[in-house]
Amino acid sequence: MSLRRGFRHFLNVVYVLFNLFLLLCIMFLFDGYSAQLPFKMVLTVLFIQVILFYVSFLRVRVSLYSKNGDMIKKDSGEIVINVAKHGFYPFKKIEFDLKYKNQFEKEYSVKKYVIELGDGKSADEIVKIDDLKCGINEVHIENAVIYDMFGFANVLLGKKRHKGKAEFVVMPKIIDVPIDISLLRYMTEEEAMDYFTDEENEFSDYNIREFRDGDKLNKIHWKLSSKSDEIMVLSDASSSEPFAYVFTDFESDENIYEMLDRCYSECYKLANLSFSHYLAWKGRNGGMKRKLIVDLKTLDDTVIQIMTETRE
């Protein structure tokens, strides 16, 4: 790509120099002042516009952001490309490569776009990206080339003139999955204390209380006790009441997108039934983590957290 861009830039320079040389040759053929005047005017205008072009492009800035916000609940998204010229030089167009990638993919998808620039100080173009998959998607611009007012001279905008990248989360699809509440996995808090070992996974405050005379030692919450001045234990209610769990494993051989769609759909149906449950997943350090799902908002927040923590 860089070799082709360099060769193209070389051809543009040769083209400009050839036209200048041709104008000079024609001027020498007409030694009269009145005959040379049109050629001198063209030569002067061309020279001035080239100078203005190479000075004005230094102020150009290109930025992008997601029009749909940080979370998208569909398989397509719209990216707004803003070209701020910070001047009145009439650039003809800008072309660039739009690169985007899902967090579970290794290769970028690349599409080439061209934006025709008007006379204003800035221009916005909405670019639609289809076939997005669930997960954190990042989008950025590369190989942005801006053209002069005539469309034959161009220059490559450096990375310093690209403003970062856009990131957004595409939520899993809601698919038709059968739900049998009786077949879900259930665990009490006492059982969960041995299963969820990640240090960041804390139990809810209403499940924990201070140690009292007569409490069994196996109910002591050692991690919380080590962080406080008191010995903390699981309450009797929390240790005996079982909660339903929906599990997802990012290290399995299953298709990651199908697994996320199914897991999200199960939790979505349970939340719609006002059935509180835990969504559990394996963290980066191998420990199991969980979040209590009580409504659709906590479900979306938890899925975003999972996407962020499992990002490669």
pLDDT tens track for 8-45? 566 666 666 666 676 667 666 666 656 666 666 666 76
* pTM of the predicted model as reported, rounded to 2 decimal places: 0.73
> Mapping DSSP to helix (H, G, I), strand (E, B) and coil, where does residue 83 land?
strand
Pairing mode of beta strands 61-66, 162-163: parallel
- Mean pLDDT value of segment 109-125: 88
Report the range out of 4-8, 81-85, 246-250 with the highest average pLDDT.
Answer: 81-85
- Give DSSP secondary structure letters for 121-175: SEEEEEEEE-S--SEEEEEEEEEEEEE-TTSS-EEEPPGGGEE--EEEEEPPP--
Banded model confidence at residue 114, pLDDT cuts 50, 70, 90 = very high
Between 91 and 30, residue with greater pLDDT: 91
Cα–Cα distances in Å, from 42 out to 13, 193, 309? 18, 82, 61
Between 156 and 231, residue with greater pLDDT: 156
Per-residue pLDDT, 89: 85
Mean pLDDT of the chain: 80
3-state class percentages of the chain: helix first, strand second, coil last, to nearest 5? 35, 30, 35
Per-residue pLDDT, 5: 53
| Residue 261: its H or E element | helix 256-272
Per-residue pLDDT, 264: 95
Question: Poorest-confidence range of 136-145, 193-202, 222-231, 286-295?
Answer: 193-202
pLDDT tens track for 227-257? 667 776 666 554 456 788 999 887 776 789 9
pLDDT tens track for 166-219? 999 999 999 999 988 888 899 877 677 667 754 444 445 446 667 677 766 666
- The answer to whether residue 109 scores a pLDDT higher than 70 is yes
55: CB partners within 8 A, 6+ apart: none
Percent of the chain with pLDDT over 70: 71
CA distance 241 to 17: 83
Per-residue pLDDT, 33: 58
CA distance 168 to 125: 18
Asked if residues 115 and 83 have their Cβ atoms less than 8 Å apart, the reply is yes
Per-residue pLDDT, 206: 44
Per-residue pLDDT, 151: 81
Amino acid sitting at position 300: D
Per-residue pLDDT, 31: 62
Token look-up 């934006």 returns: 115
CA distance 65 to 126: 10
Percent of the chain with pLDDT over 90: 36
Cα–Cα distances in Å, from 24 out to 17, 51, 53, 162? 11, 19, 22, 39
Closest CA to 199 of 283, 102, 140: 283
Question: Poorest-confidence range of 16-25, 153-162, 263-272?
Answer: 16-25
Asked if residues 308 and 220 have their Cβ atoms less than 8 Å apart, the reply is no
- Mean pLDDT value of segment 258-284: 90
- Mean pLDDT value of segment 121-131: 89
